[in-house]
Amino acid sequence: MTRQSALSNAPSAGAARAADLLSLSHEPMFVWRLGGAIDSWNAGAERLYGFSPDEAIGRISHTLLKTRFPVELAELTSELLNGHVWSGELRHTCKDGREVVVDSRMQLLSDGTVLEVNRDVTEVRAYAAAQAALMRELSTTAAKFEALFNQSAIFAGILDLHGYLREANNLSLDWCGYTREQVLGRPFWETPWWRGSAEIRARIRFATAQAAAGSAFREELRYWLADGRERIVDFAMHPIRDATGTVMFLHPTGLDITERKQAEAALRDTEQRWRWIASIVDSNEDAIVSKDLNGIISSWNAGAERLFEYKADEAIGQPITLIIPQDRLDEEREILARIRRGERIDHLETARRRKHGGLINVALTVSPVKDAEGRIVGASKIARDISEQKRNQEHIRVLAREAEHRSKNLLANVAAIVNLSRSDTPEGLKDAITGRIRALSNVHSLFVESRWSGAELLAIARQELAPYLGEEGGRVRIEGREALLEPPAAQALAVVLHELATNATKYGALSDATGAIALTWSRDADGKLLLRWTETGGPPVQKPERQGFGSRLIERTIGQLNGTARFDWRPEGLVCEITLPT
């Protein structure tokens, strides 16, 4: 039998004496055999662990207390047998489930039992752990503060109570172009940030004194970079106090707000412009309406209220078809399609419906509306009431038709007077005079059609050369770009073309069945009109020995307009070149 087994099975001869000894101590103490069975259990053990003697005695101690040993149990037992003493830190679980840490000392008694004395160090260990954690946290916090201070996105510094700068963070130096040697150890108001203004230096000195007295300071100030540029800072100075409330040092901070102030100024300007535009829109007599790409009305000015009779709160949110007649819905679909393509619609004359019935004539201008990214998100529409204009136009047309009628009558009377008064003259002269007057009458009709703005050269040419223009051009070819002539030039060219056509009929390309005429025109870089009359295929042409009445008439007529007329009597046919200024 081994010594351990003999001792563990030996009777506890000193149990009674141990029990008396244990009862005198307030420390948790109990006696157990080497096998682990508890022989005695004092009041201190009961207070700590919550087990009564009846619950503990006879139980295996490390099972009852769920002991967590720092070493293997066999190693601990061996140390007791060899050295009679073991000490170390154990973790026990109390009856209520709490875990306690004890500083344990075990003594092997002479009767082979073990006296275990435990001192509860749970709070001590927890405090030590908390202290260690606190130190770690303080160390981490200090490192974080230093990093925060130096990597902060604002200017920051530390002043003593006399206002001397003791520390400045990296941003306040690197951003501004200064070194620590230039700023540290100097009164804060004498540092180069404030060098550009004595008034601002005085404000900094005041802020320092105010913070030292315990009051914070904040103000927007100008400051200067090392390269001389002036900027704006949102500056603050705060007192930093200890636990007793005593001011220990001063903490200046600053946030550069130059761009923000510029943006605010730009925003104010933009808002002012928008208020101005909104005022113009609201006071405009025209209807100004905006809508999205689905045709839903999003704005409606006072002009729209007057024109269409709907209030803004009645129209906004409604489809634009609210004011479009049923027979013009396709027109709106086409407008939206063009807006989506980015097109602008100028002066579309149409009709719109009013709230209380009836249609109104309007001229529309519709433009795409784009967002900040350039995407088309809607349309802006200006509608102008042209009802009065339409009535005036109709009245003008009536007057113009009357004027046309009267002028034709007048010209007819002139022709009749010429015929009657010169009845004894040759028939050719009468025809010439009558033809010239008829040419003027024809161009006069073109003036009426264009509301007296002038006449298109193409229309004049077709009028004068109509007898020779077949379905596919006949014997005359006309070619040229659009050229709107003012009345004096139009009248002159009508007479000129009449004279050229008359001459070609009598003597030139139109006097036989094979001749042809090409009438072309263009404008040069200066805007001058270049007109060319070319005859081909007629009888051979000889240059006249003397200038005829027709050529003199052409030269004089064109000359009155500061133009030129040149005649080239080629054998194959006449070429006449006319130049008119813009």
Q: What is the 3-state secondary structure (H, E, C) of 104-167?
A: EEEEECCCCEEEEEEEECHHHHHHHHHHHHHHHHHHHHHHHHHHHHHHCCCEEEEECCCCEEEE
**Which residues lie closer than 8 Å to 548 by C-beta, 6 or more apart?**
none
pLDDT at 56: 94
Are 525 and 535 spatial neighbours (Cβ–Cβ below 8 Å)?
no
Give the CA angle between residues 130, 135, 136 to the nearest 5°: 95
Q: Scanning the structure block, which residue is given the tokens 């200006």?
A: 382
Task: Starting at the earlier edge strand, list the strands of the sheet with 217-224.
Answer: 165-168, 155-159, 247-256, 230-241, 217-224
pLDDT at 396: 72
- In 3D space, the residue among 123, 76, 129, 132 whose CA is nearest the CA of residue 102 turns out to be 123
pLDDT at 402: 54
The one-letter code for the residue type at 60 is I
Task: Starting at the earlier edge strand, list the strands of the sheet with 476-480.
Answer: 476-480, 516-523, 529-536, 573-580, 564-570
**Which residues lie closer than 8 Å to 417 by C-beta, 6 or more apart?**
none
Task: Average pLDDT across each block of 10 residues of the chain; the chain has 582 residues. List them in order.
Answer: 41 52 76 92 94 95 94 91 92 95 93 92 86 75 62 82 93 90 95 94 96 95 94 94 93 92 87 73 80 92 90 93 91 91 91 90 91 90 86 72 54 45 49 62 66 81 84 79 88 90 90 91 92 94 83 90 94 94 82
pLDDT at 416: 39
Distance set, CA 391 to CA 394, 396, 506 (Å): 5, 9, 49
**Tokens standing for 456?**
């298109």
- Would you tell me how many other CB atoms lie within 10 Å of the CB of residue 146? 11
Q: What are phi and psi of 233, to 5 degrees?
A: -125, 140
**Tokens standing for 56?**
């503990």
**Which residues lie closer than 8 Å to 203 by C-beta, 6 or more apart?**
219, 221
- In 3D space, the residue among 131, 178, 132, 185 whose CA is nearest the CA of residue 158 turns out to be 185
Task: Starting at the earlier edge strand, list the strands of the sheet with 345-353.
Answer: 297-300, 287-292, 376-385, 359-370, 345-353
pLDDT at 394: 75
- In 3D space, the residue among 451, 447, 582, 457 whose CA is nearest the CA of residue 528 turns out to be 582
- Would you tell me how many other CB atoms lie within 10 Å of the CB of residue 574? 23
Domains of the chain: 3-120 (3.30.450.20), 152-261 (3.30.450.20), 285-385 (3.30.450.20), 411-580 (3.30.565.10)
**Tokens standing for 553?**
């008439």
Are 95 and 50 spatial neighbours (Cβ–Cβ below 8 Å)?
yes
**Alpha carbons 362 and 551: distance in angstroms, whole number:** 51
Q: Scanning the structure block, which residue is given the tokens 């140390």?
A: 79
| H or E stretch covering 544 | none
* Residue 472: burial class (beta carbons within 10 Å; 0-12, 13-18, 19+): exposed
Residue length of the chain: 582
Q: Which DSSP symbol is given to 52?
A: -
* Residue 501: burial class (beta carbons within 10 Å; 0-12, 13-18, 19+): buried
Tell me, rounded to whole angstroms, the distance of Cα 293 from its chain centroid.
19
**Which residues lie closer than 8 Å to 298 by C-beta, 6 or more apart?**
290, 291, 292, 316, 378
pTM for the complete prediction? 0.38
**Which residues lie closer than 8 Å to 541 by C-beta, 6 or more apart?**
508, 535, 569, 570, 571, 572, 573, 574
